[in-house]
Homo-oligomer: A and B are copies of this chain.
């Protein structure tokens, strides 16, 4: 017996089934225009021959790829280790949301950050739309891209004048929750450690924090330590440098870290000076990474529901692709109180 030769195209199946190509096509797409018998026959033959419809031919004909490009920053900076796990949880949840809608996920690392690169991505029918996981410094590029007919959505800060669709956390609210908590525990020398105000999300968190803390505790001071990237290493360096520049009696008694990774660096810097968390210094992080719960003392932090974020991102993008108007959406920030 010959080895089962794999039928390569619809024509082959059509011949084998003694029907025409379109009938095979219809049968495989379960069209009501085909007899149950014919359908069964075609399906059986296709199965037996390991035939699968050529997706590229479909895409060419349909002018629709059912593919979404997802742009994720893997590394916080070149040569660094993994970026914050948050992006990966988000990626996983976006992947799931896309899979629910039978959309393929083309994973892209950001290359040159020009809007033309992304226009080309779409123009070449590589993907129907783009999901940017992280707005970071690319707001200007995104504004450019928004002037075109490119379909895209962004995880990042939701702002008033934004010409594109964003899904993001309630950063101001998140900051407020932290500020309020520090006020309750009567902390007086607070510090925010995170990105500069150029990162819109960072700015929002910082402002909410400052506002809420000072509202309840007007005499408190609020410092700002700027980290150049969100890696543990640079956060640690920034934190150490900050403490080096202070007398012991000027040390902060409350630190709001813009990410849990940064909070881990804060822990380290404090431990190395013999300061105790939360007795001497209260620390709160952001994102509720898994290890926030595992470290000791376990880390109080702000949780954002990535599952919800993922499905909203996909949902809004699909709306765009259907020609409907998408909406920017904020998802809630929740304070997860732990030992720190």
Contacts and interface: CB of A to CB of B under 8 A. Distances in A.
A6 B108 CA distance: 24
B123 A51 contact: yes
A60 B52 contact: no
A125 B55 contact: yes
Given A56-B56, A75-B92, A89-B82, A106 B106 contact: yes
Contact of A89 (B50, B53, B81, B107): B81
Contacts of A251: none
A58 to B, nearest CB: 9
A50 B119 contact: yes
A116 to B, nearest CB: 8
Given A54-B125, A105-B106, A295-B295, 12 more contacts: A50-B123, A54-B124, A55-B126, A74-B95, A74-B96, A104-B126, A105-B108, A106-B107, A261-B290, A265-B294, A268-B294, A268-B296
18 contacts: A51-B123, A52-B120, A54-B60, A56-B56, A74-B92, A74-B95, A85-B85, A85-B88, A96-B109, A105-B106, A265-B294, A267-B294, A267-B296, A271-B296, A291-B291, A294-B295, A295-B295, A295-B296
